[in-house]
């Protein structure tokens, strides 16, 4: 009898949510949104008792996985195009499209005083490495290329590029000093109204197309009450406040 009770308690610890009937959902999340998504999932669990299991990668990689049948219920993309393609292909639920954040681009260095508030360091070009997310995979990388083109620096700085597979890897290149500076998401260095570390230039938004980050409910999630609750939760004021606290804008 004691053995059976012990086994049950072990299963309860390992799989408590399932045994107690708590619903779960699988959410594909663009890597720029890692920190706010984690906070949102914590709050969602507190409010609903349901668990959002988050998977982070570049938007392009997540889109490819979903297109190939990966078992996600919701997709928080870093752009509108990827979500819209899934809607057109019938892999996302019509009417579920939600712009959950407007991304902002930051030129950042882990070194204090290295990047000035007007971006002149970028124009001077007196550095060896400039990190940016691969523009073929990541919306923030495409935005960085737009900025360089608008400033007339695309050709002169291209030889200095260090490309990250996604914005998280790009941030790591700068944080570890493998690149003196780089284009990252504001949310990666900003929380509660302040820059966390180093020095930065908040890139003027007129230099790149708006980074509209769009969420959709995927076909797999349309019968999952937890997925429906997650999409509703993203539209609540408490969720919006968390998103704003990381420097994201709103439409």
Contact 52, 41 (CB under 8 A): yes
pLDDT at 10: 34
Does an H or E element contain 103, and which?
strand 98-103
CA dist., res. 54 & res. 30, Å (int): 10
Residue 140 within any structural domain of the chain: yes
pLDDT at 22: 54
The CATH number assigned to the domain holding 19 equals 3.40.190.10
Q: What is the pLDDT of residues 234-246, one digit of tens each?
A: 999 999 999 999 9
pLDDT at 82: 96
Burial of 83 (0-12, 13-18, 19+ CB in 10 A): buried
Range of the domain at 172: 105-202
The arithmetic mean of pLDDT across residues 161-168, rounded, is 94
Residue 174 within any structural domain of the chain: yes
Q: What is the CA radius of gyration of the chain?
A: 20
Q: Are residues 112 and 97 in the same domain?
A: no
Q: Are residues 94 and 113 in the same domain?
A: no
pTM, to two decimals = 0.83
Please name which of 213, 211, 182, 222 lies closest in space to residue 198, comparing C-alpha atoms. 182
Tokens 């892999």, residue? 91
Residue 35 within any structural domain of the chain: yes
Q: What is the pLDDT of residues 104-151, one digit of tens each?
A: 999 999 999 999 989 999 999 999 999 999 999 899 999 999 999 999
* Residue 19 pLDDT greater than 80, yes or no: no
Residue 157 within any structural domain of the chain: yes
pLDDT at 191: 66
Residue 236 within any structural domain of the chain: yes
Q: Are residues 22 and 60 in the same domain?
A: yes
Q: Are residues 183 and 136 in the same domain?
A: yes
Q: Are residues 174 and 128 in the same domain?
A: yes
pLDDT at 190: 77
Q: Are residues 135 and 218 in the same domain?
A: no
Q: Are residues 98 and 128 in the same domain?
A: no
Residue 48 within any structural domain of the chain: yes
The arithmetic mean of pLDDT across residues 155-171, rounded, is 95
The arithmetic mean of pLDDT across residues 76-82, rounded, is 96
CA dist., res. 109 & res. 116, Å (int): 10
Q: Are residues 46 and 120 in the same domain?
A: no
Chain length of the chain: 251
Contact 229, 50 (CB under 8 A): yes
Q: Are residues 94 and 115 in the same domain?
A: no
pLDDT at 6: 41
Q: Are residues 184 and 140 in the same domain?
A: yes
Please name which of 237, 240, 236, 108 lies closest in space to residue 175, comparing C-alpha atoms. 108
Does an H or E element contain 226, and which?
helix 225-233
Q: Are residues 114 and 154 in the same domain?
A: yes
Residue 80 within any structural domain of the chain: yes
pLDDT at 197: 81
Number of domains composing the chain: 2
CA dist., res. 221 & res. 244, Å (int): 26
Select the more confidently predicted residue: 54 or 16. Answer: 54
pLDDT at 194: 63
What average pLDDT does the structure give for the chain?
90
Residue 241 within any structural domain of the chain: yes
Q: Are residues 88 and 6 in the same domain?
A: yes
* Residue 21 pLDDT greater than 50, yes or no: no
User: Phi and psi dihedrals of 222, rounded to 5?
Assistant: -70, -20
């Amino acid at each position: 009898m004691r053995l059976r009770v012990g086994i049950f308690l072990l299963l309860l610890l390992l799989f408590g949510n399932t045994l107690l009937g708590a619903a779960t959902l699988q959410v594909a999340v663009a890597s720029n949104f890692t920190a706010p998504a984690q906070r949102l999932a914590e709050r969602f669990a507190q409010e609903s008792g349901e668990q959002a299991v988050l998977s982070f990668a570049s938007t392009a990689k997540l889109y490819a996985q979903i297109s190939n049948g990966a078992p996600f219920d919701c997709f928080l993309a870093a752009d509108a195009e990827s979500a819209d393609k899934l809607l057109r292909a019938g892999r996302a639920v019509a009417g579920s499209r939600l712009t959950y954040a407007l991304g902002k681009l930051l030129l950042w260095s882990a070194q204090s005083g290295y990047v000035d508030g007007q971006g002149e360091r970028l124009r001077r070009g007196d550095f060896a490495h400039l990190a940016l997310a691969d523009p073929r995979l990541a919306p923030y990388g495409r935005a960085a290329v737009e900025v360089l083109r608008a400033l007339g620096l695309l050709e002169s700085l291209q030889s200095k590029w260090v490309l990250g597979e996604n914005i998280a890897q790009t941030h790591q290149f700068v944080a570890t000093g493998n690149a003196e500076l780089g284009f990252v998401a504001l949310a990666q260095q900003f929380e509660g109204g302040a820059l966390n570390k180093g020095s930065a230039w908040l890139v003027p938004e007129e230099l790149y197309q708006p980074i509209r980050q769009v969420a959709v409910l995927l076909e797999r999630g349309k019968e999952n009450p937890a997925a429906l609750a997650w999409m509703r939760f993203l539209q609540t004021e408490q969720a919006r406040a968390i998103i704003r606290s990381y420097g994201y804008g709103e439409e």
